[in-house]
Structure 1
Amino acid sequence: MRHLTALTAVLLLAACAPAAKAPPAASIAPVSGSDAEALGDMSWTKGAMVAAADPRAVEAGIRVLSEGGNAIDAAIAVHAVLGLVEPQSSGIGGGAFMVYYDRARDEITVFDGRETAPAAAGPDWFVKDGKPMDFLTAWQSGRSVGVPGQIALYKTAHDAAGRANWASVFQPAIELAEEGFEVSPRLAEVIASERLRAVIRLDDNPVTAAYFYPDGQPLPAGFRRTNAAYAATLAAVANEGPDAFYRGALASEIVTAVNEGPDGGDMTLDDLANYEVKVRSAVCGTLQSGYKICSAPPPSSGGVAQNLILGLYEYLKPAATVNADESLFLKAFVDAQRLGYADRDHYVADADHVPVPTEDLINPDYIKARAKEAFAPDAKSFPGDPGVVLGGDPLRPMWGEDPTTPGAGTTHISIIDLEGNAVSMTATVEAAFGSSRMAGGFLLNNELTDFSLIPEKGGKPVANAVAAGKRPRSSMSPTLVFDEGGDLFMVTGSPGGNSIIAYVSKTLVGVLEWGKTAQEAAALPNIIARGDTVAVEVDIEGGLEAAEALRTMGYTVEERTGENSGLHLIVVRDKGLEGGADPRREGVALSLR
């Protein structure tokens, strides 16, 4: 297996990425735009870039940047448009993790706008008559809806470091909603999907049916769809701030939509009024190569999983590239994923509610020891125990195994502004079109099915079980990478449910280890190795060869088509910014100088 063409021909470049030192440890101290201007050397010369899933959203971000806004301002504008033109993926009825880098202060801040469970929720939230609810029933029920965090995240981030006028960042989305937007081919395809319509209630709910299926027919590509209700919602938020969303008439509309049948929830006005964004420190780890990977902390999986997988890959890859079997680089990536996913699945949850051994899981000593436990291709995967490895009490017995399988209604935005500040934000409504419930012109999430529907396994609690006010574990991995001088090198992230972890790690390995450009990394076949089966995307160049190589090595391979990654990344090169947009979606990366 020494000729794997498009995918593995580049694997011999694995040692070509330059060695680097880690930047100084980032602290968490968001500052106002005026304070940031007074600090440090602002001589950024590489311009700005926005990469996201729809050209109209990207253009909104570029507009805000060109008018003097910064990365946070642009991210709000981009996402407000995405909620209109890509409602199957995200919107203000959902939540997000935003990782923000302030170049002048050399600081990273994470804004956690993840949805929360209502006060009435508990471990048996999805248990009915002593048994877990059927997943599809739970998925489209009111009990699946978490308290949305997106609008609160917008305001918290903007207050911390935004520069543009608050109301102005919503103007592109308001204009587009009032004037109407053309339904894109991808949106039209998803709305018309008979397979999707069979399992969601989008065409059963009178409000969503009228919007997406006027006269009983799915919106066709090119149809000009206005959304006066969404424009009014954004205008109210622009004028009144988050209170327009979390209190008053719109809050009542949200609660009514959540609690009405069938299978209504139990959300209250107090749940909405009491929502708070969590401002957190990033989880950062340094690779042997010197690159530093920073992402969001639990309940996001990004900081733990990305550092685990890349750290494990460094130990598992061939020690030398000359005359090395190309397939061994592919094997190393698969084995690193299997180990990393097993640990993520077992330990990561909302650290405000349960203990998560974050620092232990990315400790270099643990990663080195864990690499030695790489599973045989035909062996079952299992979580490691950082407690035992690092000389403490065993940690693995604390929790039962968690089989949670999140949906894939998500989007990702990568931005670098004209001063070198950066945003990596992954936002979601969980499944396609969320809960199929609508209020104020936007869809409500079904994020609570990201919790384990089973509160315990084998007589032990599951770390990611439901609890009042708790945030469900997320695979979202908005990620920043820094080079040897402490300078920003890469901004990356993706939608895709549980596969997000694999998608994002593909771009990290692709750029840092295999010498790929941003666009080449996004276009590589997706390989997802969670559990005992390796899913390989075979309708992309190089995918069939990779699947055959892995099968020959003894792995159980599932051949897949139609992967739902939506990678958007920016790499900082000597000559300027290099963008990548996933060819599987409709996104673009546009620059500004």
Structure 2
Amino acid sequence: MRRMTDRRSARLLAVITATAAIAAVGAAAAPALTGSSQDARHTPEKQPVAVGHGGAVASVDADASAAGIEVLKRGGNAVDAAVATAAALGVTEPYSAGLGGGGYLVSYDAASGKIRTLDGRETAPKSADEKLFQEDGKALPFDEVVTSGLSVGTPGTPATWEQALDKWGTKPLGKVLAPAEKLARDGFTVDKTFREQTADNEERFRKFPDTVKLFMPGGKLPKTGSTLRNPDLARTYHTLARKGTGPLYKGAIADDIVDTVRKPKVGSGAGKVRTGDLTAADLKAYKAAKQAPSHTRYRGLDVFGMAPSSSGGTTVGEALNILERSDLSKLSKKKLLHRYIEASRVAFADRGRWVGDPAAEDVPTKDLLSQRFADSRACLIKDDKVLKSPVEPGDPRDPSDCKSGDKAAPTTYEGQSTTHLTAADKWGNIVSYTLTIEQTGGSGMTVPGRGFLLNNELTDFSFEPADPDVHDPNLPGPGKRPRSSMSPTIVLKDGKPSFALGSPGGATIITTVLQSMINHVDRGMPLDEAINAPRASQRNAEKTEVEPKLWKSPLRPQLEDMGHSFTKIDEIGAATGVQPLGDGRWRAVAEKERRGGGSAMVVHPSKH
């Protein structure tokens, strides 16, 4: 698995003092990279926990959190701050998120007490069919598809920003993009991990001259401590600030996206790069989908998440329902970890069989979240032995105790290079937002002159069915959204916010959110400790992935004696969260170590 991203602590305080109106960026912009180190700039300090009044933002990056805080200081609400933070991540975390990707936004409206969601997932071209990733009756090699136009879906992130602001924000897009535009123009400091990620992608980046020009100026890897500027992205943000997202979906930027996908500009000696079939009509037709959230009850709490096309809400919800019949607070650490692993295994079995894009598939969302179905699956779990993987799925439409049905579907690969942010404001509104361009560096293709990478999101589709006799709801189709695991979550108690959280990490997002919730709700850990505890991730596979602290723990041999099998992984997820404290203050939380630590900020920090 690709090493997950450390977050750069060396950023620009200028984001915090960014003026609302940013001057147009001229054609004669600064070079993309300078050899200077910090340019005498003050660096916002990363803190994993912040408490105070006026609103809060938590992300994986200090500059991004600062951009959201700046918008809150200027009177914006949580939706405004979330978009500002996401736009800044498009600058400082271009291999994880940006205009060329998509995501899911969940928000709580304090005035009405309602949860609202937007599905900003990328869509396949209208020409796509179930055999999109097959040739001569066989699935294409994954690596060949990733770095190509064939993997690119219509971006959903810009539409998500504009629709969220239009429906629920208080500031226009131009005001919200101002900090990110300035950051793109002035630059950020390259750290060790950014250089390492570039090096990891060097071979495929070198296929595309425009990607090399942007991320490897002069044809060389960027030096740690140098300043990376993105004047092309600054100009793109400025265009969106003045004209909205129209140019990206039905204008000049849209034309450039289509050209990049259909006629990839490759360098000499690049070899074969497959083309895609994205059209101007595909971009023009794109809409972020407003839909009802997923919902389940757990320990008296209302857990709201993202319904399909994401599998996050249904899979987290089903696993919680499976576990609810047990008093996890009284279990030993061994039994707790065992049951969590097994509940995850079962929920992923059902995810693989039933979840796809509801616009194209009959997805039994309500049935997957029913307690009746969860109880029929929970009886598979025994305290003295381990389920054999892959577990076969059950039928949520007709639950039968301990009965499985169709052949298990393998968990599709989902890239780790996703990011998550949470935001809250002084009025009590909350946003939990996960966004991505899929794997690190997306498709590897930069839109010439526009400053952003295109996604490889279509590789989240199944390349071929697990069983030719069983329908796979995640096969490609015309205009279809590939299944995701993104799990932005907001939890209410008695109708009021209790906490919100989410994480990057591909399919491990689901287990990260699930385990963090168990730690907080059942084990009574403070939210920051809950998300920083060692993690395990089981996704209906033979082996359960565990972080080093669990690998070295005495729990591992105890669980292996039961029949569990483990593999060590450096990091799983990188969560952030926010929580109201009941006195008008907020607690913002982020990782202490994973991805180099996250950045939690509040508008007015408490003195104690």
TMscore range, shorter length: 0.7 to 0.9
Q: Which amino acid aligns with 2:576?
A: H
In structure 1, how many angstroms separate the alpha carbons of the residues matched to 2:92 and 2:470? 43
Aligned-residue RMSD, C-alpha: 2.0
1:408 Cα deviation from its structure 2 partner: 1.3
After superposition, the C-alpha distances for 1:445-501 in whole angstroms (9 at most, x for unaligned) are 000000001146233331100001100000000000111x21101110011011111
Alpha-carbon shift at residue 589 of structure 1 (Å): 0.9
**Structure 1: runs of 5 or more not aligned:** 1-44
- Closer/same/farther in 2, CA of residues 490 and 386 from structure 1, 3 Å limit: same
Moved more, 113-122 or 157-166: 157-166
The aligned runs of 1:21-420 (5 Å cut-off) are 47-193=54-200, 196-197=201-202, 201-261=204-264, 262-287=273-298, 289-317=299-327, 321=330, 324-374=331-381, 376-377=385-386, 379-380=388-389, 381-389=391-399, 397=406, 401-420=409-428
Q: Of residues 562, 577, 585 in structure 2, which corresponds to 1:569?
A: 577
Cα distance between partner residues in 1 of 2:572 and 2:399: 36
> For 2:141 and 2:573, how far apart are their aligned partners in 1?
27
**TM-score, length basis structure 2:** 0.85
Do the aligned partners of 2:516 and 2:531 also contact (CA within 8 Å) in 1? yes
1:319-349 deviation per Cα after TM superposition (whole angstroms, max 9, x unaligned): x72xx53311111111111111111121111
For residues 65 and 116 of structure 1, the distance between their equivalents in structure 2, rounded to whole angstroms, comes to 32
Alpha-carbon displacement from aligned partner over 1:211-243 (angstroms, at most 9, x marks no partner): 222233211222111111101111111110111
Gaps of 5+ in 2: 1-51, 265-272
Deviation >4 Å, runs of 4+: 394-397
What is the match of residue 436 of structure 2? 428
Measured at CA, do residues 481 and 46 of structure 1 come closer, stay the same or move farther in structure 2, by a change above 3 Å? Answer: farther
Amino acid at match of 1:549: Q
Distance 1:407 1:136 in 2: 12
SS in 2 for 1:305: helix
Supply the AA of the counterpart residue of 1:406. E
Deviations 1:269-309 (A, max 9, x none): 1111111111001111111x101110011011122011111
Residue type at the aligned position of 2:205: L
Contact 1:536/1:547 (8 A) holds in 2 = no
Counterpart in the other structure of 2:22: none
How far apart, in 2, do the equivalents of 1:536 and 1:461 lie? 29
Change (3 A) 1:437 1:553: same
Do the aligned residues in 2 keep the contact of 1:402 with 1:462 (CA within 8 Å)? no
Query: Which residue number corresponds to residue 17 of structure 2?
Result: none
CA–CA distance in structure 2, aligned partners of residues 456 and 309 of structure 1: 23
The Cα shift of 1:400 comes to 7.3
Kept in 2, the 8 Å contact 1:51–1:581? The answer is: yes
Pairwise CA distance, 1:173: 0.8
Per the TM alignment, residue 70 of structure 1 is displaced from its structure 2 partner at its CA by 0.6
Q: SS of the counterpart of 1:61? A: helix
Cα distance in 1, alignment partners of residues 261 and 236 from structure 2? 18
The answer on whether the counterparts of 1:450 and 1:473 sit within 8 Å (CA) in structure 2 is: yes
C-alpha separation between the residues in 2 aligned to 1:419 and 1:255? 41
Distance 1:104-1:570 versus aligned 2 partners, 3 A rule: same
Choose 256-265 or 293-302, whichever is displaced more: 256-265
- Please give the secondary structure, in 1, of the residue aligned with 2:435: strand
| Alignment size in residue pairs | 536
Secondary structure of the 2:282 match is: helix
On the 8 A contact 1:527/1:534 being kept in 2, the answer is: no
Tell me the TM-score normalized by structure 1.
0.87
Match of 1:547 in 2: 556
How far apart are 1:402 and its partner, in Å?
4.5
Q: Is the 8 A contact 1:503 1:526 kept in 2?
A: yes
Of 215-224 and 304-313, the range deviating more from structure 2? 215-224
1:410–1:328 Cα change, 3 Å: same
Q: Secondary structure at the match of 1:544?
A: coil
For the residues of structure 2 that align with 1:457 and 1:553, how far apart are their CA atoms?
A: 31
Q: CA deviation at 1:192?
A: 2.3
